[in-house]
């Protein structure tokens, strides 16, 4: 059996992107990697239930409980090394990671962002705010981007992008849903496979 990259998914909320990854592994889209661990900074995240239902090991590392960014990141590093993780996927993870953390894992952390970077990205652009900004600005096309993570929010090298047209009737909520269905849930598994394949080759 060929070695597979061990993947940890970092989550904070409902875990819809995590579900897309779970489904993609089941259907064989992700074949060079295996979802080995789901880590949340929020013990009430529904994503943890999704992971448990899929038989994936879970861990909670809370900044509030640990008291500082440094202690929080040390907690993350120790759970990653215990589980011999090769690749980290940020899937709706609502914590900024410092340079201290990201430089330990060069080209080993990927994130999905709900716009076509470099538009509507960086500090303060997350969740519905991204879609509100796209609609306010009047752009006709938005989408999603999967990129490597470095110390700059949304600043790492782009791996994949997919465009989604904005409809005149869109609200931030309807646009968020369509960007997830038409772009995020397709791109993230494909990027996970591409990076995993690189790691194990």
Residues tagged active-site = 113
- Report yes or no: 85 and 59 within 8 Å, Cβ to Cβ: no
DSSP 39-79: EES-TT-HHHHHHHHTT-EEEE--HHHH-SHHHHHHHHHHH
What's the full length of the chain, in residues?
201
- Report yes or no: 122 and 107 within 8 Å, Cβ to Cβ: no
Residue with tokens 């849930």: 185
Task: Please report, for the chain, how many H helices and E strands are present, in that order.
Answer: 8, 7
- Report yes or no: 110 and 193 within 8 Å, Cβ to Cβ: no
30, with CB counted inside 10 A (0-12, 13-18, 19+), is buried
- In sequence order, what are the beta bridge partners of 147? 111, 158
């Amino acid at each position: 059996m060929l070695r597979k990259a061990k993947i940890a998914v970092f989550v904070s909320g409902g875990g819809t992107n995590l579900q897309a990854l779970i489904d993609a592994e089941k259907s064989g889209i992700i074949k060079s990697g295996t979802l080995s661990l789901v880590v949340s900074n929020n013990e009430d995240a529904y994503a943890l239930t999704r992971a448990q239902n899929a038989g994936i090991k879970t861990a909670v590392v809370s900044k509030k409980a640990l008291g500082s960014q440094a202690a929080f990141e040390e907690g993350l590093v120790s759970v990653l090394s215990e589980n011999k993780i090769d690749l980290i996927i940020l899937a709706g993870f609502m914590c900024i990671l410092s340079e201290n953390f990201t430089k330990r894992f060069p080209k080993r952390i990927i994130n999905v962002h709900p716009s076509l970077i470099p538009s509507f990205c960086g500090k303060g652009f997350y969740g519905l705010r991204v879609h509100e900004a796209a609609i306010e600005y009047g752009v006709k096309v938005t989408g999603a981007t999967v990129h490597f993570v470095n110390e700059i929010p949304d600043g790492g090298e782009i791996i994949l992008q997919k465009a989604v047209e904005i409809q005149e009737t869109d609200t931030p909520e309807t646009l968020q849903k369509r960007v997830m269905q038409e772009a995020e849930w397709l791109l993230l598994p494909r990027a996970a496979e591409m990076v995993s394949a690189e790691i194990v080759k």
